[in-house]
Structure 1
Amino acid sequence: MQTQPLNDADFEILDDILLKHGDDHSVLNTCELDGFFTALVSGPAQVDIADWFPAIWGGQNPNWENTGEAKQFIELSVRHMNTLARQLANGSEVFAPRFEQTEHNGQPVTLAEEWCFGYLRGVAVANWTPLPVIQAQLLQGISECAEQDNFELPQDLDVAAHQQQVAEIEPAARGLHDFWLSQR
């Protein structure tokens, strides 16, 4: 199996498959999938594919076009999870959550809501136990970001405050990973 990080074409394949087979209960894009996998590789114990794979699809196995499509999705997913695990375990500066980019009133805006929603889905699947106060606060920041509904950004969005909240997500994810790593 290949160990290279995914490239843009690989992410496009994942996005296409997620969109094709997804519904309101499943992961719908690679930003959410990235958050999901980040939580899985960061948690207290390894999560088996038998647990995380159905969670991507809202508990239902997709009606695959063919076995090759399913195999490709699983291989790309595992490759991405392994990349995230290596980056986080090595304290690598190349770890960067896969956030969406948009524009609002002529200003670039980074959106982390879907990533955070995926992260919380991963926390649930990995069955994280209660956290100490500092780590609970880190998770709370991710949770608060996931609760925002930014399908349409409000006209009066405070872009600077929003971007500050988004900037806190990556260090929170690193801090939570480091905490669980020290507990294993």
Structure 2
Amino acid sequence: MQDQPLDASDFELIEDTLLKYGDDHSVLNASELDGYFTALVSSPVQVDIAEWFPAIWGGQNPDWQSPDEGKQFIELSVRHINALATQLAMHAQAFKPRFEQTEHHAQPLTLAEEWCFGYLRGVAVGNWPELPTPLAAQLQAIAFCAEQDNFEPPADLDVAQHRQQIEAIEAAAHALHDHWVAQR
């Protein structure tokens, strides 16, 4: 089915393909791609694959080593974007951003910077208009996190505050999606 969530091996293939064909102008990992697709399915208008697919690669489609490799990546991308759209529209509680994980003082720590960077890429490709003030603040929470690209947690990181910021990003994604869906 074209909206079945991807499994770990699918995401591994996506990661490998992004690393193989990506450059400084392209999406470089599954977390960033997840944020990108989340913004696209939350856009005020539907963005055609002819626009969003080349934008993954910085505007230029890869020179695939084989047609099957390109076809497989496109199929996984379409499945993932469709699964996100279904989750956000019909099963909002099932939607979980694909944030990265690291350790901080031997404890798990969620990092959202790459996801947020991808989200902003999707906002740009979707050509979002100006948002009402409360929703602009929601988008700003995502934008602020994206500005922390390559963020290394400081030794004195306030973990509780960091977790609240991560939760706010997920809530913002839901609020922005709901706003634009209601406008369509």
Q: Which moved more, 1:127-136 or 1:90-99?
A: 90-99
Which runs of no fewer than 5 residues in structure 1 stay unpaired?
A: none
**In structure 2, distance between residues paired with 1:92 and 1:46:** 19
Match of 1:175 in 2: 175
Q: 2:60 aligns to what?
A: 60
3-state SS in 2 of match to 1:93: helix
Please state if 1:162 is matched with 2:162: yes
2:53 is aligned with 1:86: no
Within 5 Å, give how 1:32-71 maps onto structure 2.
32-71=32-71
CA distance in 1, matches of 2:156, 2:55: 36
| Structure 1 residues 1-184: aligned runs within 5 Å | 2-184=2-184
Query: What runs of 5+ residues in structure 2 fail to find an aligned partner?
Result: none
Q: Which runs of 4+ in 1 moved over 6 A?
A: none
Aligned partner letter, 2:165: Q
Cα deviation per residue 1:125-158 (whole Å; 9 max; x = unaligned)?
Answer: 0000000011101000000011113443222222
Whether the 8 Å CA contact 2:2–2:78 is kept in 1: the answer is: no
Instruction: Give 3-state SS (helix, strand or coil) of 2:102's partner.
Output: strand
Distance 2:69 2:134 in 1: 42
Give 1:67's aligned amino acid. Answer: P
> TM-score, length-normalised on structure 2?
0.96
Letter in 2 for 1:84: L
2: CA distance between counterparts of 1:83 and 1:180? 18
Q: Secondary structure at the match of 2:14?
A: helix
> How many aligned residue pairs are there?
184
How far apart are the structure 2 equivalents of 1:162 and 1:54? 34
Indicate conservation of the 8 Å contact 2:38/2:84, yes or no.
yes
Give the 3 Å change call, closer, same or farther, for CA 2–128 of structure 1 in structure 2: closer
Alpha-carbon distance in 1 for matches of 2:39, 2:51: 14
Q: Secondary structure of 2:15's partner? A: helix
- Measure, in 1, the Cα distance between the counterparts of 2:64 and 2:14: 14
